[in-house]
Amino acid sequence: MHFQNTCDIIQFIPGRSVAWLSAPAWGAGGRWFESSRPDHNAPVAQMEEQRFPKPLAGGPNPLGRTNFKDNTMEEKIVVQDVEKERYASFSFIPWWDQEKIKKSRVMVVGAGALGNEVLKNLALIGIGNIFLIDYDKIVNADLTRSVLYRQEDEGKDKAAIATERIRQINPDVLIQYISGDVIWDIGLGLFRQMDVIIGCVDNREARLFINQACWKVNKPWIDGGIDVLNGVVSVFIPGQGACYECTLTDMDYKILGAKYSCPLLRYQDLTSGKVPTTPTTAAIIAGLQVQETLKLLHQMNVPSGKGIIFNGFTYESYLVEYPEKKNCLSHERYQPIIEINHDSSITFGQLLTIAEGYLGKGSFLELDRDIIWRLECKECNYQKLLLRVLGKVTFEEGSCPECNKPCHLEMRHIITRDDDLLLDKTLAQVGIPDLHIIAVRRDEEVCYLELKGR
């Protein structure tokens, strides 16, 4: 086997390969070398120095092998056996740490064209733990741009089928999924468990929520967007430059406001239009997202608050820096976060008791989502006690059964001891997921309780 201009593999030893490198490739001198894993905790500036293997104490090549073509000495490097080891080819990359990759946790939001390519790449490199969330179902149009789906998958949950196919690609990967809505169906504690979050969504609502969640729990996220032959990849690390909301214009806010003029319209219902794209653009943008993920996992320098713009029509790409808004509403950090051994089966009354144990009597819960307390139609004199989170109520459920018009909504997000109707309800009954983080306040004091589980 010949590696042009690099080395000839001349011998296989169980668990490794032996390669001979001509001296000019590494510098003259004909010294004996053996590969060594670099120090991944070293500053990035030192990583370039680690590209070169260290000479053994023996000095000159003890075998004295000579390349008779150009009369230069040759040197040896040891790598894994590429015919037997799954991740052997990555061992040629000096800074690559497969054990670190194996232990990493990555969340992927969205399993469309972009999400398919991201998931495939994560599986191929051996990301140890993947969590996927998507609420959509597979349609025939997905087959032209989604490598994980098949004709017989039509009508099935994207998250479930994508998970099945990833397990087939790489059984080493532990992948879990939720067929649900990222905004309403997963707790902030799940974001907190991740090393990196990758956004593969196609609407402002989901991006804005992911951005706010990542800021609250101090986790980096990588956003990707595609449109025909063009795309963009943006990295957002809390506290390092602009966040996604910093990039929103007045027009973006107007569009968001117009969409939510009726609060009962969930964002699934608002994003019925599909973004035109091609599988080639999805592959390019997803590749960049996973590449930036790898760099973050290896503690490399990754530009934050910036975007890589790719123009597939002109084959140009360039880096843009987003201006940071100092008073951006997304720049909220949850601290301190206190883990409690309860899940969403705890009642509001029990949670208030725990809260009072930390901050004292008079503590109250401040939710990051509105609870619809009751529905009212004044024209029909209709009222109904609901006690459910806004995102869990459909348009039909929130309409008057007599005139079919949307009801007036009485909503609250502050829960106190005076809210008798709610105290015996569990958080799950209202629509708050496991692993969520609840703010507790009393006067100027604040702490955050994470529903860690039993």
pLDDT at residue number 26: 36
Residue 256 and residue 181 in one domain? yes
Residue 53 and residue 133 in one domain? no
Residue 141 and residue 213 in one domain? yes
| Listed residues 67, 96, 125: the one ending a domain | 96
- Look up residue 445 and give its two tokens: 């004091």
In a domain, residue 358? The reply is yes
State pTM to two decimals. Answer: 0.80
pLDDT at residue number 334: 97
Report the C-alpha gap between 392 and 289 in whole angstroms: 31
Sort strands 230-236 and 306-311 into parallel, antiparallel or unpaired: antiparallel
3-class secondary structure, 8: strand
Residue that is written with structure tokens 């004044």 in the block = 378
pLDDT at residue number 35: 38
Distances from the Cα of 145 to the Cα of 132, 155, 279, 282, 438, angstroms:
18, 16, 5, 8, 39
Which residues, 6+ apart, have CB-to-CB distance to 152 below 8 Å? none
| Listed residues 96, 125, 157: the one ending a domain | 96
CATH number (domain holding residue 208): 3.40.50.720
Residue 278 and residue 422 in one domain? no
pLDDT at residue number 274: 60
Which residues, 6+ apart, have CB-to-CB distance to 378 below 8 Å? 408
3-class secondary structure, 391: helix
Please give the helix or strand (H or E) that residue 366 lies within, else none.
strand 364-377
Report the C-alpha gap between 208 and 252 in whole angstroms: 11
- Look up residue 170 and give its two tokens: 């790489």
In a domain, residue 328? The reply is no
In a domain, residue 376? The reply is yes
Residue 294 and residue 375 in one domain? no
pLDDT at residue number 17: 41
Report the C-alpha gap between 34 and 75 in whole angstroms: 9
Report the C-alpha gap between 391 and 428 in whole angstroms: 13
Report the C-alpha gap between 397 and 405 in whole angstroms: 11
In a domain, residue 436? The reply is yes
In a domain, residue 331? The reply is no
Q: What is the DSSP letter of 242?
A: -
Residue numbers of the chain with a pLDDT score lower than 50: 1-78, 267-268, 270-273
Total domain count, the chain: 3
3-class secondary structure, 210: helix
pLDDT at residue number 208: 95
Report the C-alpha gap between 368 and 186 in whole angstroms: 13
Domain housing 182: 100-321
| Listed residues 276, 296, 321: the one ending a domain | 321
pLDDT at residue number 294: 97
Residue 228 and residue 364 in one domain? no
* 225-246 pLDDT per residue, tens: 999 999 999 999 999 999 999 9
Residue 368 and residue 410 in one domain? yes
3-class secondary structure, 202: coil
Residue 263 and residue 167 in one domain? yes
Report the C-alpha gap between 320 and 230 in whole angstroms: 15
Residue 68 and residue 117 in one domain? no
In a domain, residue 110? The reply is yes
Residue 133 and residue 89 in one domain? no
Q: What is the DSSP letter of 285?
A: H
Q: Which of 187, 243, 242, 236 is nearest to 448 (CA)?
A: 187
3-class secondary structure, 10: strand
Residue 240 and residue 280 in one domain? yes
In a domain, residue 327? The reply is no
In a domain, residue 329? The reply is no
Residue 166 and residue 104 in one domain? yes
